[in-house]
Amino acid sequence: MKKKQTAGFTLVELTIVVAIIGILSAIGMNYYGDYVRETNRTDAKSALSRIASSLEKCRSLYAAYNSPNCNVVFPADSDEGYYSIAAAFPSAAAFTLTATPVAGRPQASDAECTSITLTNTGLKGSAPSGIDVCW
């Protein structure tokens, strides 16, 4: 007698494959989330650079970064709305811009870069690390 061979997968084999795909997907989604957070930081960087450029224009026209004649208003939002930009003027000849994630937006969960800073001297920084890992 000949044994009849059947083609296909058993339920156990199929369950193992589905479990492996689930594990790989979970790992991949975690890395994807990190990638999206890092990519969204460009929203803060471009806003800080744009506002710093506007402040440099104010200084060249009015001899002060914080002149009332400047049309730069704070707090400001970044282009995509992920960050809020604030400014500190320790003197008329200096500024520090700080971008912080807006609560309720995707960047609010970015624990690696809770704030991104840029000064009038071009010094770039970030918190909590204090160095420019976010740039």
Tens digit of each residue's pLDDT (9 = 90 or more) over 113-131? 899 999 999 999 988 876 6
What's the total number of domains in the chain? 1
Contacts of 132 (CB under 8 A, 6+ apart): 124, 125, 126
The DSSP-derived string for the chain is: -PPPP--S--HHHHHHHHHHHHHHHHHHHHHHHHHHHHHHHHHHHHHHHHHHHHHHHHHHHHS-TT-TT----SSEE-TTSSEEEEEEEEETTEEEEEEEEPTTSGGGG-SSEEEEEEETT--EEEEET-SSTT-
Domain with 69 in it? 11-128
Global pTM value = 0.77
Q: Residue 134: inside a domain, yes or no?
A: no
Q: Residue 1: inside a domain, yes or no?
A: no
The strand order across the sheet containing 83-91 reads 76-77, 83-91, 94-101, 113-119, 124-128
Q: Residue 42: inside a domain, yes or no?
A: yes
What Rg do the C-alpha atoms of the chain give, in angstroms?
25
* pLDDT tens-place string over residues 34-74: 888 889 999 999 999 999 999 999 999 999 999 888 888 88
Instruction: Check residue 78 and give its pLDDT.
Output: 92
Q: Residue 133: inside a domain, yes or no?
A: no
Q: Residue 65: inside a domain, yes or no?
A: yes
Q: Residue 6: inside a domain, yes or no?
A: no
Q: What is the mean pLDDT of residues 4-13?
A: 81
Instruction: Check residue 1 and give its pLDDT.
Output: 60
Instruction: Check residue 133 and give its pLDDT.
Output: 77
Q: Residue 2: inside a domain, yes or no?
A: no
